[in-house]
């Protein structure tokens, strides 16, 4: 490897060894045997010290590489999952987090959605799945909110906003519940805003579609309500429409994962380029310091 080769070159140049080692040793023939041994011992003691210094430098360099590997991983994750951008308002703008846990959740959700083509059994399972997509404490609080609410629902609103701020728009269920809370409080326009965010992330979220329909009714937008009704999950009796709805849901989900893959590759390429520049710069500085010494 390049690092080992450069270290070897540095070691040899530091020792200033002659090309003909035998000629070098013959140059001490006039020295007594004891003096010769003393010179050779001193020479190799010096070499040992320089080797020790090189070993310390090598260790420091490896620690530097490990540190940069760690910071690279953290920086890559921060870039991919960053929520410092406005939430998506349409599905084409949403890019999921492409982590291993995200992949696993995607697979489970796709299986549940697929089963909706012929059964309603997965409806409750999907609702529970959406609630429990993040930590259990948040999931438990969301479930408790279904049974009781504080006056004016102010406590619930604060919890939902705090949870959204904590996890970003990737955790849809707090957004869905906030939209429903605003609808219940007669804040239809605000509710519809959050519905759009939730449906940009999960266009197949049938509960959010129902909230949008109720908002349209509350705003006396009857045409909008009828249009949105066509986007809701069809009953099993309407087999053809039900299958089409499921196929569209699966297409939307897979398209989102495709965007996530592209975003990850772009982010990885950018950070690898940055890392390469940083490591090259740090390594060059280290070699320059060694040459100066």
Q: How confident is the model at residue 4 (pLDDT cuts 50, 70, 90)?
A: very low
Domain that holds residue 77: 2-81
Tell me: do 72 and 106 sit in the same domain: no
pTM above 0.85, yes or no: no
Tell me: do 259 and 154 sit in the same domain: yes
Whole-number pLDDT of residue 267: 85
Of 44-53, 124-133, 178-187, 227-236, which gets the smallest average pLDDT?
44-53
- Angle at CA of residue 153, ends 150 and 159, nearest 5°: 95
Instruction: From 46, 81, 116, give the residue that closes a domain.
Output: 81
Instruction: From 23, 49, 81, give the residue that closes a domain.
Output: 81
Tell me: do 217 and 118 sit in the same domain: yes
Dig out the tokens for 120 from the structure. 């309603």
Whole-number pLDDT of residue 218: 97
Whole-number pLDDT of residue 180: 97
Tell me: do 148 and 241 sit in the same domain: yes
Tell me: do 12 and 101 sit in the same domain: no
- The answer for residues whose C-beta is within 8 angstroms of residue 139's C-beta and 6 or more apart is 131, 132
Tell me: do 210 and 108 sit in the same domain: yes
pLDDT at 146 over 90: no
**DSSP annotation of 84:** -
Q: How many domains does the chain have?
A: 2
pLDDT at 88 over 60: yes
Tell me: do 45 and 106 sit in the same domain: no
Tell me: do 108 and 230 sit in the same domain: yes
291 falls within a domain: no
Of 23-32, 76-85, 111-120, 265-274, which gets the smallest average pLDDT?
23-32
pLDDT at 45 over 70: no
Taking residues 192-209, what's their average pLDDT? 98
14 falls within a domain: yes
Distance of alpha carbon 67 from the chain centroid = 19
280 falls within a domain: no
275 falls within a domain: no
pLDDT tens digits, one per residue of 116-135 = 999 999 999 999 999 999 99
Q: How confident is the model at residue 39 (pLDDT cuts 50, 70, 90)?
A: very low
pLDDT tens digits, one per residue of 206-239 = 999 999 999 999 999 999 999 999 999 999 999 9
Q: Please, are residues 151 and 134 in contact by the beta-carbon 8 Å criterion?
A: no
Q: Please, are residues 91 and 203 in contact by the beta-carbon 8 Å criterion?
A: yes
Whole-number pLDDT of residue 273: 79
Of 243, 225, 166, 231, the closest CA to residue 199 belongs to: 231
d(CA 138, CA 292): 58
3-class state of residue 288 by DSSP: helix
Taking residues 249-269, what's their average pLDDT? 93
- CA distances to 40, 115, 118, 124 from 121, in Å: 85, 8, 9, 7
- CA distances to 17, 240, 247 from 89, in Å: 70, 29, 22
Q: Please, are residues 201 and 169 in contact by the beta-carbon 8 Å criterion?
A: yes
pLDDT at 293 over 50: yes
Of 1-5, 108-112, 165-169, 236-240, which gets the smallest average pLDDT?
1-5
Tell me: do 194 and 259 sit in the same domain: yes
Tell me: do 76 and 117 sit in the same domain: no
167 compared with 47, residue with greater pLDDT: 167
Whole-number pLDDT of residue 269: 86
Q: How confident is the model at residue 74 (pLDDT cuts 50, 70, 90)?
A: very low
284 falls within a domain: no
Tell me: do 224 and 150 sit in the same domain: yes
Of 21-30, 140-149, 233-242, which gets the smallest average pLDDT?
21-30
289 falls within a domain: no
74 compared with 286, residue with greater pLDDT: 286
- The answer for residues whose C-beta is within 8 angstroms of residue 10's C-beta and 6 or more apart is 54, 287, 290
46 falls within a domain: yes
68 falls within a domain: yes
Distant-in-sequence contacts of 144-150, Cβ < 8 A, 24+ apart: 145/177
| Per-range mean pLDDT, top range of 10-24, 27-41, 179-193, 268-282 | 179-193
Tell me: do 113 and 197 sit in the same domain: yes
d(CA 267, CA 47): 46
């Amino acid at each position: 490897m390049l690092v080992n080769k450069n270290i070897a070159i540095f070691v040899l140049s530091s020792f200033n060894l002659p090309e003909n080692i035998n000629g070098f040793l013959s140059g001490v023939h006039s020295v007594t045997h004891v003096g010769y041994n003393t010179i050779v011992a001193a020479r190799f003691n010096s070499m040992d010290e320089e080797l020790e210094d090189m070993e310390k430098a090598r260790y420091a360099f490896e620690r530097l590489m490990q540190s940069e590997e760690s910071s690279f991983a953290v920086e890559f994750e921060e870039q991919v999952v960053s929520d410092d951008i406005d939430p998506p308002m349409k599905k084409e703008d949403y890019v999921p987090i492409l982590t291993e846990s995200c992949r696993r959740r995607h697979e489970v959700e796709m299986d549940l959605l697929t089963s909706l083509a012929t059964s309603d059994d997965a409806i409750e399972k999907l609702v529970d799945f959406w609630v429990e997509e993040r930590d259990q404490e948040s999931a438990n609080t969301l479930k408790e909110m279904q049974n009781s609410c504080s006056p004016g629902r102010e406590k619930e609103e604060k919890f939902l906003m705090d949870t959204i701020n904590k996890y970003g728009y990737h955790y849809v269920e707090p957004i869905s519940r906030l939209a429903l809370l605003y609808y219940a409080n007669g804040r239809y326009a605000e509710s519809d805003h959050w519905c759009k965010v939730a449906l940009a992330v999960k266009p197949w979220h049938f509960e959010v579609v129902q909230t949008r329909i109720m908002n349209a009714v509350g705003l006396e937008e009857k045409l909008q309500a009828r249009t949105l009704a066509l986007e809701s999950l069809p009953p099993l009796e309407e087999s053809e429409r039900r299958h089409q709805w499921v196929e569209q849901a699966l297409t939307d989900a897979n398209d989102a994962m495709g965007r996530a893959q592209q975003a990850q590759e772009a982010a990885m390429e950018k950070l690898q380029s940055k890392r390469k520049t940083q490591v090259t710069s740090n390594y060059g500085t280290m070699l320059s310091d060694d040459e100066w010494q």
